[in-house]
Amino acid sequence: MLDTILTVVLIVVVPGYVFLRDHLAKGKPPLALKVRYGLGLAMTLALMTLCALTWGLGGRSLATLGLDVPPSIRGWIGLAIAACLLGAFAFLALSGKVRPPSGESDAASALMPKTPSERRLAIVFFIGLGVSWEVLYRGYLLWALTPQIGLIGAVVVAALAYGLAHGFKGWRQLGASLVVALVFTIAYAVAGSLWWLMIIHAGLPLVALLAARPGADDAPPTTLSTEAPHPA
């Protein structure tokens, strides 16, 4: 029963809530950034609590959720890919050759902190959502959907749900969210391990924070975007 509830919440309720919230917010001043961080973390904590309860009562192993210890060979390959990717972006950020997205109308830049206190909360926000959304929309949904509609169907539905859960702030943003969601979901289906995807998902916005350090405004106009705007 709890499995069904969580699956419906992830596929229907969360995307529906985010779309409704975005629609009602049109033409209104955005919420304070700390409030957005807090709401995003609260929603994530509630979903992860339900997932942990469901998983614990079912007596299932964490490896079944993609949290294999130690990782498989494919998982280690994924970790190497994540390390190389984040290392390359961090090098570019430290060298001043990239900077975070700019423009108040851009959904990703709207989540970038502007004060030290916001920056501290942003670190918790990006790590929390990067880890939990991989568990929920990759590990859990593929586990729940594959027996019902097959692996390909599960990948498509999970990717659509994840992309739509980022709301609608324009067709370009929606398209990017769906494409990235599909790539990440396929990557998990191939590797069977979530560790490297969680590192990439949480790490990219943290690298964007690094690129936004004081003095980075003089960097060339190359921009570094996070994976996709989070549903906050």
Query: Band of the pLDDT at 95, cuts 50, 70, 90?
Result: confident
Q: Is the dihedral of CA 42, 203, 201, 222 positive or negative?
A: positive
Structure tokens at 207: 């690298």
Model confidence pLDDT, tens digit, residues 32-47: 899 999 999 999 999 9
Condensed to tens digits (0 to 9), the pLDDT of residues 117-131 reads: 999 999 999 999 999
Residue 107 pLDDT level (bands cut at 50, 70, 90): low
The residue extents of the domains of the chain are 2-218
Average pLDDT, the chain: 85
Enter the pTM of the model: 0.85
Distance CA 166, CA 34 (A): 18
Secondary structure (DSSP) of 166-194? T--S-HHHHHHHHHHHHHHHHHHHHH---
Band of residue 91 on the pLDDT scale cut at 50, 70, 90: confident
